[in-house]
Amino acid sequence: MADKKATLKVDGVEETLELPVYEGTLGPDVVDVRSLTGKGLFTYDPGFVSTAATESKITYIDGGKGVLLHRGYPIEQLAEKSDYLETCYLLLHGELPTAEEKETFLSTIKNHTMVHEQLSHFFNGFRRDAHPMAIMCGVVGALSAFYHDSLDIHDDHHRVVSAHRLIAKMPTLAAMVYKYSIGQPFMFPRNDLDYAENFLHMMFNTPCEEKKISPVLAKAMDRIFLLHADHEQNASTSTVRLAGSTGANPFACIASGIAALWGPAHGGANEAVLNMLEEIGDESNIDTFIAKAKDKEDPFRLMGFGHRVYKNFDPRAKVMKQTCDEVLAELGMENDPLLKIAMKLEKIATEDEYFVKRGLYPNVDFYSGIILKAIGIPTEMFTVIFATGRTPGWIAHWNEMISSDYRIGRPRQLYTGHEKRDYPAK
């Protein structure tokens, strides 16, 4: 039931329209405009920035206050006290697991990390220099060709099995993409390692030599996954939901999310940070580029500073900064030229009145880019890792939609083309 009513008077419409207004647990009220179509009216909202296309219980963001909640839990608390797979369980099931539930969940994920051997042959169809995201789109979508036993989207058990398979296999596929690009053999996952350790093992070990994974780096990787696990109704999540509304299988839906995430305006932000640092090139050039960033007429922008959603600070950035410091200390890379540029930019952005006044603080992409670079992950792999971390959020939203009374997505348009006209006589 609606909590309030809104009235709308439109020129040319004789009656005043009464529209229901709904109150969420948190956030702005929502005006229900569905009845407008019966009056021959649509709303106009490019980018859907003022439109709530769904009702959700998963994630809440207040950008003005720097708040990010997963199922009600602040992201800072989850990053400090939880881990990635426990957060996956929370997103999927709505509550934190008991000790027994967590152990069962961890065991299930570990036992689904391998991919069908035939899938490895798919990689041979790609060029070695193909962008990793191009390959990820293909191989994730291809999973539906191997798992016919869990494609009934209206079966609760099938959806759970698909969720487990996707979460478990994404790091395996991501590592395979990297190994393929450098011509090394694929590494099998190991069930004795935890999620992040296993990913780093498959990325950097070889059949000739298996090195012990640093606990500091594994913790950093786990935290990167956790801090990217979900971010409400963003472009890729909305893409997953729109694809899912057609009844498409979950693997195809997640592949569509990967495609949307590939866009530089969305998932490529931490890659853009490293490209910016390389463009600056040397600490002696920082003042020049800071001046360019302040010049409205100059196209140069500081990447990794400020955020479209968070207007004061990104709540994930503080946690990621701590992790960044730990990783650089562990690897002894405090004097790396690019990282020294990054640290000086961070200092300027947090002290310079120009940046402070405009809320151009370092965000999660700034620090995650530095961490991934320090670990040795190439920049073209950054978005693949983002997709791996975001998978449980995509699945949770897809599952929430399929479990509800949903309709196929069908946005409207404001048509500004030609009126009806006749084909010219010849």
pLDDT tens across 11-37, in order? 767 678 888 888 889 988 888 888 888
State the average pLDDT for the chain: 90
Q: Which of 10-24, 144-158, 167-181 has the lowest mean pLDDT?
A: 10-24
Q: Which two tokens stand for residue 347?
A: 């200092």
- The model carries a pTM of 0.90
pLDDT above 90 for 168? yes
Rounded-to-integer distance, Cα 72 and Cα 331, Å: 35
Return the SS3 of 30. strand
Residue 311: pLDDT band (50, 70, 90) is: low
Q: Which two tokens stand for residue 200?
A: 């780093």
The predicted model gives 411-415 an average pLDDT of: 88
Rounded-to-integer distance, Cα 32 and Cα 6, Å: 9
Q: Which two tokens stand for residue 49?
A: 């920035």
Q: Which residues contact 68 (CB under 8 A, 6 or more apart)?
A: 59, 60, 61, 74, 75, 231, 315, 316
Q: Which of 36-45, 170-179, 184-193, 279-288 has the lowest mean pLDDT?
A: 36-45
The predicted model gives 359-381 an average pLDDT of: 87
Q: Which residues contact 180 (CB under 8 A, 6 or more apart)?
A: 123, 126, 128, 135, 186
The predicted model gives 147-174 an average pLDDT of: 95
Q: Which two tokens stand for residue 394?
A: 């995509």
Percent of all residues in the chain with a pLDDT value above 90, rounded to a whole number:
60
Residue 205: pLDDT band (50, 70, 90) is: very high
Which residues have a catalytic role annotated? 266, 307, 365
The predicted model gives 294-321 an average pLDDT of: 80
Confidence (pLDDT) at 82: 97
Confidence (pLDDT) at 2: 60
Q: Which two tokens stand for residue 273?
A: 């940070």
Q: Which residues contact 310 (CB under 8 A, 6 or more apart)?
A: 63, 66, 359, 363
pLDDT above 60 for 1? no
More confident position, 381 or 369: 381
The 10s digit of each residue's pLDDT in 38-96 is 878 888 888 888 888 889 999 999 888 889 999 999 999 999 999 999 999 999 999 99
